[in-house]
Chains A and B, each alone.
Chain A
Amino acid sequence: MSGGLPPDPTGYRDSTVQASADTQVGQELEPIVKHVTLDKSRIYQGWPEVRNRHTDYQAAQATGLTEPNINGGQTAEYLGELFIKFFGSGFVGGSLLVKFIGFVSINDTVTVRGVVTGTETEGNRVKLTVDLWAENQDRVKVLAGTATGYAS
């Protein structure tokens, strides 16, 4: 807090853990926490022009769900955020694989985590492999993935 005023809670902040040539296998990435709401889902989808099972109860229930769930593309953004924050410009030449293994529902709190699982030298560059995953407030994994990229 500066001068008694609160900081912008949505303000961007670099990760405290970033890929480097010295990064070791087992290094944990700084987690990211997201609270998912129906409003956030509607913003992502382009509601009210777009209405679907991610924005409207009726549409969700027509597909057998009890309430709207969060689109996989939106939850993949959470892994993408951790990916970019860790690799920085070293994401170029890298890859990201995301598996959607569980539903993310409105009002879930999702925590995205990662750990370095491999390093290798390619010429004068260091390539890192990272396992990424996201879990909900019940510690149930909803996303799992693997990423590669280069130390900046």
Chain B
Amino acid sequence: MTERKTVEQLYRGTHPLEEATIGDQLGSLDFVISAAQIERNAWANDDYNPWYMDDSPFGGRIITPVFLASFDATLFYAYYAYPPGGSLFAKQEFEYLVPLKIGTKYTMTGALADIYRRRGRTFYVAAMSITDQDGTEVMRMSKTVAAPVRPVDEATAAPSGADVTETRE
């Protein structure tokens, strides 16, 4: 029987999150979204929009507007080690420059843009850019990851050595 692993165990990041610094370069991720991935997403969410399933006005099947939300998490945790207390998505932003299509190769690059602390958690803001094979930027994204899952005492929440902005929103 094949050993099954948690998604956290599948992450490859090695840099401790508590040592994160604004400006950290998270690297890049090449990807192609398959029809099977989009169809599974439609099934999971009961959203069978024909633009995803059949064709769109943009010339081919496109991906859903938030589909890449898990991809930037993959990039984030390909750089940072998944924290022992787990983490949450706090905020996600997307800017749509060109619709992304099924079967097309794209590249996502990212960097850590901000760190702040609030209500017993530390928030890490990663800014991502997605480009097509010609180098044209097709989407911008920003993901805010909060750790740990269960808030800790504010007095002990600040990571040592991290560049922490105290307030936000």
User: Which residues of A are in contact with B by a Cβ distance under 8 Å?
Assistant: 10-12, 34, 40-41, 43-46, 48-53, 59, 63-65, 71-74, 76-81, 83-85, 89, 91-100
Residues of B within 8 A of A94 (CB): 95-96
User: Which residues of B are in contact with A by a Cβ distance under 8 Å?
Assistant: 4-8, 10, 40-41, 43-51, 53, 57-58, 64-67, 69-70, 73, 85-86, 88-99, 149-150
- How far apart are the CA atoms of A13 and B107 in the complex, in Å? 33
Residues of B within 8 A of A49 (CB): 4
Whether the pair A72, B89 counts as a contact (CB closer than 8 A) is yes
Whether the pair B7, A50 counts as a contact (CB closer than 8 A) is yes
14 extra A-B contacts, CB within 8 A, seeds A40-B44, A84-B51, A92-B96: A10-B48, A34-B46, A40-B46, A51-B6, A59-B6, A63-B85, A64-B150, A65-B149, A71-B89, A77-B66, A81-B45, A81-B64, A98-B93, A100-B88
A12-B50, A99-B91 are contacts. A93–B57 as well, Cβ < 8 Å?
Answer: no
Whether the pair B49, A99 counts as a contact (CB closer than 8 A) is no
Residues of A within 8 A of B98 (CB): 92
- How far apart are the CA atoms of A143 and B74 in the complex, in Å? 22
**Chain A nearest CB: distance from B136 CB in Å?**
14
**Nearest B residue (CB) for A32:** B47
Whether the pair A98, B91 counts as a contact (CB closer than 8 A) is yes
Tell me the total A-B contact number using a CB cutoff of 8 A.
122
Query: Of A11, A53, A76, A93, which is within 8 A of B66 by CB?
Result: A76
Residues of A within 8 A of B86 (CB): 53, 63
Query: Of B66, B90, B149, which is within 8 A of A73 by CB?
Result: B66
Query: Of B43, B58, B64, B89, which is within 8 A of A80 by CB?
Result: B64
**Chain A nearest CB: distance from B52 CB in Å?**
9
A51-B4, A100-B88 are contacts. A43–B73 as well, Cβ < 8 Å?
Answer: no
Residues of B within 8 A of A59 (CB): 6
Majority secondary structure, B binding face: mixed
- How far apart are the CA atoms of A92 and B97 in the complex, in Å? 6
**Chain A nearest CB: distance from B46 CB in Å?**
5
**Chain B nearest CB: distance from A50 CB in Å?**
5
Residues of B within 8 A of A64 (CB): 149-150
Whether the pair A96, B45 counts as a contact (CB closer than 8 A) is no
Query: Of B43, B64, B70, which is within 8 A of A84 by CB?
Result: B64
- How far apart are the CA atoms of A89 and B65 in the complex, in Å? 12
**Chain B nearest CB: distance from A96 CB in Å?**
5
Whether the pair B4, A73 counts as a contact (CB closer than 8 A) is no
**Nearest A residue (CB) for B64:** A80
Residues of A within 8 A of B67 (CB): 77
Whether the pair B93, A45 counts as a contact (CB closer than 8 A) is no
Whether the pair A73, B70 counts as a contact (CB closer than 8 A) is yes
Residues of B within 8 A of A80 (CB): 64-66
Residues of A within 8 A of B5 (CB): 51
**Chain A nearest CB: distance from B61 CB in Å?**
13
Whether the pair B41, A44 counts as a contact (CB closer than 8 A) is yes
